[in-house]
């Protein structure tokens, strides 16, 4: 009996070990907390990163372009009103554009106080950058830093203005950090804007808004020219001597490779109406033909409505004016 | 005899042990069943916000809010390239809250399953439902799980003058009824 009891006791220990081992295995296999909390954490981190990544993407691809387009338009509009108020051209367009766009000031003075228009107030690039920084902090609890390192304006097409800005931005959150650099470009149409060249040269007496003529280059005739003059529309000719829209801000009256545009000065809107000039706008105020009347033609075909209207020979041929409608001035 | 009695004891012990294990496993596995719920509600709130921000007016085939629809013909919606969220933000910027509510109702029909309730907020103002019913408030207050998705939205309110609106915080809250 004594030997049997001893072996049973030993088996008891054996069973206890097996039970403990099985329990340990079960506990290890089925312990849910660690696994689920890890998944939960991963999900929440992934979700947060995804949200912030969408914000960064939106910032780079949509927000910057939207505010660049809006502020570029407002800056150009402000500069036109500035020229209208001061009656003078802008010395350096790029630096004036950059200063107005970033700070709302020109030569250190708020441009709105000069123009008397509330255009740049709370609408500078700096204002809009601050707004998105505040909104992102409130919405996504991220710290955004935006550094605009350069702004420029240029033209590659006659009827559009391109604006570009170089921007470095950082978005910091408790889970990750994004550092990016980008060059953002935005295009705005010049149609509807006032031509600053007219404003300065006539001391605000004659304003002309940019409106593209719909006439094809080989469809011109005296009737189309009459409509062109009546509506104050603009034309782009390949290889002409006309300046671009932006060149008109600085009185840079020379040939633009890509973007020269021209309109005709309406003799009924200037004093005196009869001047010894070609009435193509960029020649008219440059007095290119003032002492060269042999190359000027009275466009008599239009004198019933636009008396004293004259053009130089080059324009007479471009607009397809026939001899019966054009007579030498002298 | 003594040995036989101990055999019963071991069997009883094993049965008890097994039942403890079975109950344990049952409790553990039943606790797993509750796990997917937050993910589902979370996905719904994300999905609704993604739907609003990734689809444009021009993509919508809706007699009220789409191109050629009621709002389009009345000139209330003018930019087909606006996302639905931008359009809601534009209504908010123009203080057109009633239209915003109706717009959200129309475009989100069928997006959120009927067993869930949701709210759409812009810049801290509730646009849908503008005036929550008592039942809605009770459901919101008593729910065990209410999840939110947030996004920034902005846009141009007037293309001629290049006037911008925003950026606003857009929030969607979703919970089970």
Could you give the percent of chain A with pLDDT greater than 70? 93
**Same domain assignment for residues B6 and B80:** no
**Same domain assignment for residues B28 and B99:** no
Interface test with B, best of A4, A39, A137, A138 (most B CBs within 10 A): A138
N residues, chain A: 330
**Same domain assignment for residues B29 and B68:** no
Q: How far, in Å, CA of A61 to CA of A167, rounded?
A: 12
Residue A78 pLDDT: 98
Comparing A137 with B41, the larger pLDDT belongs to A137
Count how many domains chain B has. Answer: 2
The whole-number average pLDDT for the span A90-107 is 97
What confidence category does residue A1 fall into, taking pLDDT thresholds of 50, 70 and 90?
A: very low
**Same domain assignment for residues B46 and B114:** yes
**Same domain assignment for residues B82 and B167:** yes
Tokens representing residue A219 in the block? 């469809």
Distance from the A107 Cα atom to the nearest Cα atom in chain B, whole angstroms: 24
**Same domain assignment for residues B106 and B21:** no
**Which DSSP state fits B161?**
T
What confidence category does residue A2 fall into, taking pLDDT thresholds of 50, 70 and 90?
A: very low
Range of the domain at B16: 1-33
The whole-number average pLDDT for the span A1-20 is 66
* pLDDT for residue B160 is more than 60: yes
pLDDT, chain A, mean: 92
In which residue are the tokens 């998105």 written? A132
Tell me the angle at which helices B84-93 and B36-54 cross, rounded to the nearest 10 degrees.
70
**Same domain assignment for residues B140 and B77:** yes
Could you give the percent of chain B with pLDDT greater than 70? 90
What confidence category does residue A68 fall into, taking pLDDT thresholds of 50, 70 and 90?
A: very high
**Same domain assignment for residues B166 and B102:** yes
What confidence category does residue B94 fall into, taking pLDDT thresholds of 50, 70 and 90?
A: very high
Pairing of strands B116-122, B163-176: antiparallel
0.90 exceeded by pTM = no
Residue A30 pLDDT: 72
Of B31, B152, B162, the CB nearest to A73: B162
The whole-number average pLDDT for the span A189-199 is 97
The whole-number average pLDDT for the span A128-142 is 96
The pLDDT tens digits of the residues spanning B7-35 come to 777 888 888 888 888 888 888 777 655 54
**Same domain assignment for residues B98 and B142:** yes
The pLDDT tens digits of the residues spanning A245-263 come to 999 999 999 999 899 999 9
Q: How far is CA A107 from CA A91, A99, A100, B116, in A?
A: 11, 8, 9, 59
What is the distance in angstroms between the CA of the first residue and the CA of the last residue of chain A? Answer: 149
**Same domain assignment for residues B116 and B155:** yes
The whole-number average pLDDT for the span B86-115 is 94
**Same domain assignment for residues B65 and B29:** no
| Residue A300, φ and ψ in degrees, nearest 5 | -65, -25
Tokens representing residue B47 in the block? 């999905």
Residue B33 pLDDT: 55
Distance from the B102 Cα atom to the nearest Cα atom in chain A, whole angstroms: 25
ipTM score for this prediction: 0.78
Residue B117: how many other CB atoms lie within 10 Å: 19
**Same domain assignment for residues B48 and B101:** yes
Enumerate chain B positions whose Cβ falls within 8 A of a Cβ in A: 3, 6, 10, 17, 21, 24-25, 28, 31-32, 35, 39, 42, 46, 149-152, 154-156, 160, 162-164, 166-169
């Amino acid at each position: 009996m004594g030997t049997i009891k001893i072996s049973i006791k030993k088996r008891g220990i054996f069973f206890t070990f097996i039970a403990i081992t099985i329990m340990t295995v079960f506990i290890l296999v089925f312990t849910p907390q660690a696994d689920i909390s890890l998944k939960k954490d991963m999900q929440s981190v992934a979700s947060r990163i995804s949200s912030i990544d969408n914000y960064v993407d939106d910032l780079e691809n949509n927000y910057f372009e939207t505010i660049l387009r809006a502020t570029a338009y407002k800056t150009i509009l402000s500069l036109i009103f500035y020229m209208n108020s001061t009656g003078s051209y802008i010395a350096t367009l790029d630096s004036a554009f950059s200063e107005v766009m970033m700070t709302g000031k020109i030569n250190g003075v708020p441009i709105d106080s000069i123009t008397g228009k509330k255009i740049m107030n709370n609408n500078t690039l700096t204002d809009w950058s601050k707004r998105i920084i505040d909104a992102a902090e409130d919405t996504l609890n991220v710290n955004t830093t935006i550094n605009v390192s350069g702004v420029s304006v240029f033209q590659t097409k006659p009827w559009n203005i391109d604006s570009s800005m170089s921007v470095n931005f950082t978005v910091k959150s408790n889970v990750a950090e994004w550092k990016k650099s980008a060059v953002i470009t935005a295009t705005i149409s010049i149609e509807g804007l006032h031509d600053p060249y007219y404003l300065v040269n006539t001391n605000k007496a004659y304003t002309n808004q940019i409106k593209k003529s719909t006439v094809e280059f080989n469809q011109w005739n005296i009737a189309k020219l009459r409509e062109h003059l009546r509506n104050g529309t603009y034309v782009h000719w390949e290889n002409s001597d006309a300046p671009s829209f932006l060149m008109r801000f600085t009185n840079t009256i020379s040939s633009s490779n890509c973007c020269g545009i021209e309109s005709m000065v309406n003799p009924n809107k200037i004093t005196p109406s009869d001047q010894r000039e070609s009435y193509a706008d960029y020649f008219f105020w440059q007095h290119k033909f003032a002492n060269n009347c042999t190359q000027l033609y009275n466009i008599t075909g239009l004198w019933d409505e636009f008396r004293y209207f004259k053009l130089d020979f080059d324009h007479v041929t471009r607009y397809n004016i026939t001899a019966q409608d054009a007579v030498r001035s002298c | 005899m003594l040995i036989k009695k101990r055999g019963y004891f071991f069997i009883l012990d094993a049965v008890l042990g097994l039942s403890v294990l079975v109950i344990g496993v049952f409790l553990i596995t039943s606790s797993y069943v509750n796990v997917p719920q937050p993910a589902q509600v979370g996905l719904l709130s994300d999905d609704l916000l993604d739907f609003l921000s990734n689809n444009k007016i021009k993509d919508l085939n809706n007699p009220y809010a789409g191109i050629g629809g009621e709002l389009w013909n009345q000139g209330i919606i003018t930019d087909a390239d606006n996302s639905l969220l931008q359009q809601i933000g534009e209504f908010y910027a123009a203080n057109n809250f009633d239209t915003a509510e109706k717009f959200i109702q129309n475009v989100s029909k069928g997006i959120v399953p009927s067993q869930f309730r949701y709210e759409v907020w812009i810049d801290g103002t509730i646009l849908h439902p503008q005036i929550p019913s008592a039942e809605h408030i009770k459901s919101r207050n008593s729910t065990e799980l209410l999840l939110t998705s947030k996004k920034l939205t902005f846009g141009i309110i007037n293309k001629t003058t290049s006037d911008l609106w925003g950026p606003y915080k857009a929030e969607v809250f979703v919970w089970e009824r």
